[in-house]
Amino acid sequence: MTVPAPSLGQLAGVFLRLGLTAFGGPAAHVALFRDELVRRRRWLSDQAYLDLLGAADLLPGPTSTEVALGVGRELGGLRGMALTGILFILPASLLVLLFAIAYDRLGSQPAMRWLLYGLQPVVVVIVIRALLVLAPTGLPTRTARILAIGALLAGLLDVHPLLVLGAAAMAMLLARGLLGEGSAGLVVLARLPGGAIVGVTGAAGSIGLGALFLTFLGIGAFTFGSGYLLLAFLQEAFVDTGLLTTQVLLDAVAVGQITPGPLFTTATFIGHQLAGMPGAILATVGIFLPSFLLVAAVHPLLPRLRASVRLAVLLDGVNAAALGLIGAVAAELAGAALVDAWSVIIAAAAAALLAVRRAGPTLALFGGGVAGLAIGALGLSPGQ
């Protein structure tokens, strides 16, 4: 039995605390939300919470953030949505920003390099583990598995992720006999040039603030499926264009993993690397803004969307392709992170630790960082 709706102040207090303490990625976040909102405070019924979680799965963007936005929309209207979203995102973004500033000032110091040396193999393991966990649900049919393999190959060949997602969506609709009227938008999407929506950059090695904002806006609007698809878009938009190295991307993801809140705060780190404080702010606003707009617009339409067979099939195709693209990025990141025997040992140890049910990504990253510092201090590796 639910209790009366909370005040905006109560909502704000709960989501600020969650923003400061929600470690472990989307799966851990939604479990924490349920424990706090359904079991402890009884602000929502189990069914109402599951409906909000299902709605977040339908939309592009970070799932746990969109659950937070949906809860705010349900319990406090648009003002509640603004509060829960901002207060869940802001603590992590500020922490990531502090890491980015320290990285700029200390990144060339031996201790920082050895710390990151130990973190990078763990990031690769976390991405691969997420892929293995998601695969049984995301690839339930032969068609989905074929699409995932095709997306993996396309990712390794540097085909733009947006093209891959659009093509997979159409292929799944075609396989189910649903590609007809009403699918024109997908056809247009799949035919867009690679940089039309995401990866809007300036000259090689530089990017303007407007292009930076639009790039992250596009990433936020089209990152379906697992949040780790974010890595494919970041790779295409910033690494393949020469704006960042793979090592910096790995470091950015590591920082996003060791801080609470959504992985999408990786954008704050990258924005700061590319354009300082203005870049950090614009990247953060850009990547999260689509989620705010989508939840505000779509919330009243959820019953109709959940009943749409075409949409469900479309998302099956997109999710299958997303897993393939994550696999391609994981392969590229592994090549950059697993550079010697010690980095392989750190990765193997992290995989074993994560296999223990109660060990989460934060603990594994902590262990990798300590191992990296120890290897550097003892002179056990030629380093980087």
pLDDT at 382: 59
- Indicate the angle between helix axes 63-106 and 26-34, nearest 10 degrees: 130
End-to-end CA distance of the chain: 58
The residues near 128 (Cβ < 8 Å, ≥ 6 apart) are 330, 334
pLDDT at 21: 84
Task: State which residues of the chain have pLDDT below 70.
Answer: 1-2, 108, 179-205, 225-226, 302-303, 306, 357-359, 381-384
Give the whole-angstrom CA distance, residue 145 versus residue 149.
Answer: 6
Model confidence pTM above 0.85: no
pLDDT at 278: 96
Closest CA to 323 of 178, 183, 179, 141: 141
pLDDT at 384: 47
Closest CA to 21 of 227, 266, 362, 261: 261
Determine the 3-state secondary structure of 5 from DSSP: coil
Residue range 135-191, pLDDT digits in tens: 888 888 999 999 999 999 998 998 888 888 889 888 998 988 876 644 544 444 444
Cα Rg, the chain, nearest whole Å? 20
pLDDT at 147: 93
DSSP 161-173: HHHHHHHHHHHHH
pLDDT at 188: 42
pLDDT at 197: 45
Q: Cite the beta strand spans of the chain per DSSP E.
A: none
Residue 125 phi, psi (nearest 5): -65, -40
Which element (helix H / strand E) includes 152?
A: helix 142-156
